[in-house]
Amino acid sequence: MSALVRNLRVLRRMTAAEIAQQSVYRGAWIIFMAANICVPIISLLIWRTAIATGAQLPVDESYLTTYFVLLSFVTMATSSWMTGFLADDIRLGKLSSWMVRPASLLIGFVANNLSEKFLKVIALVPMIGVLWWIFRDSMSIPAGPGRWALFAVSLVLGAILVFTIDILIASLAFWMDDVTALAQARLIIAGVLSGAVVPLALMPEWSRGFVDHQPFRFTVSFPVEIVAGSLSGTDLLVGLAIQFGYVVVFGVLARLVWSVGIRAYSAVGA
């Protein structure tokens, strides 16, 4: 318990330090978030035009509008960018300097992740608020707080899932000279299977079994589906159980690979 409290204190202080350091680039965050929101909005306008011209889709305009308005926020909240940095630290031998410090290297990456998300939220939420107001007549908004609470829980689980997948891929650098190709492949596959490019509800019917149960769905699409209102009570509980299961499985796997890699690690690159 004392170790947990100490790590939480270290995480709080490191996060505050990261926020102070990165807040220097406030203008860059605003520009970056404005660019981030453009793709979902362009996609929304395209699909709304398709519906207006008579396209027959398995979901209605309300679902698509809610989905794409929330998409940029969910992708930001569940994102992780540590694979390349951690893999470089392993490959170049920089991991050695962290191994002799009282704080874990992973705590440093968590602090960086949380601080960037904090600053991005400040820039992104007002933009989403404007979009919400513009498309308010076409939005599907849950009446009670229950779905919003489940949305928050699913968002946290999705963020942890993405983070553990990043650790797993980066840990392969203990044995591979370069994991860039794997990281890029994961981004491409996740972009499609997470629903970040096209809503999974629009996927072909023959793919439903695989699409609905593969892990990437629970990093982006599933949290949005909770608010969009396309899931029944049973589907919500089953989905949360599957999402939690993936978090546990990938967490254990990442921990195992990391532990084996640390024992085999030797700093020959620095």
Q: What would the mean pLDDT of 204-210 be, rounded to a whole number?
A: 88
Q: What would the mean pLDDT of 139-162 be, rounded to a whole number?
A: 87
> Residue 247: what pLDDT?
96
| pLDDT band (50, 70, 90) for residue 102 | low
Alpha helices in 53-144 (DSSP H): 61-77, 82-91, 95-99, 105-134
> Is the CB of residue 189 less than 8 Å from the CB of residue 219?
no
Q: Tell me the residue type at 62.
A: S
Answer whether residue 256 shows pLDDT above 80: yes
Has residue 161 been placed in a domain? yes
Has residue 269 been placed in a domain? no
Has residue 169 been placed in a domain? yes
> Is the CB of residue 12 less than 8 Å from the CB of residue 33?
no
> Residue 263: what pLDDT?
82
Give the domain range for residue 259.
2-264
Has residue 270 been placed in a domain? no
**DSSP track, 199-258:** -GGGS-GGGHHHHHHSGGGGGTHHHHHHHHT---HHHHHHHHHHHHHHHHHHHHHHHHHH
- Radius of gyration of the chain from Cα atoms? 20
**E strand or H helix at 268, and its extent?**
none
Q: For residue 214, count CB atoms less than 10 angstroms from its CB and return exposed for 0-12, middle for 13-18, buried for 19 or more.
A: middle
What percentage of the chain exceeds 90 in pLDDT?
Answer: 24
Has residue 171 been placed in a domain? yes
Q: What would the mean pLDDT of 130-138 be, rounded to a whole number?
A: 85
Q: What's the CA gap between 2 and 10, in Å, rounded?
A: 12
> Residue 270: what pLDDT?
44
Answer whether residue 137 shows pLDDT above 90: no
For helices 105-134 and 26-52, the axis angle rounded to 10 degrees is 50
> Is the CB of residue 129 less than 8 Å from the CB of residue 55?
no
Q: What would the mean pLDDT of 200-212 be, rounded to a whole number?
A: 89
Domain count, the chain: 1
> Residue 165: what pLDDT?
94
| pLDDT band (50, 70, 90) for residue 268 | low
Tens-place pLDDT, residues 48-99: 888 888 878 888 888 888 899 899 889 988 988 888 888 888 888 777 776 6
Answer whether residue 218 shows pLDDT above 90: yes
Q: Which residue has better confidence, 3 or 59?
A: 59
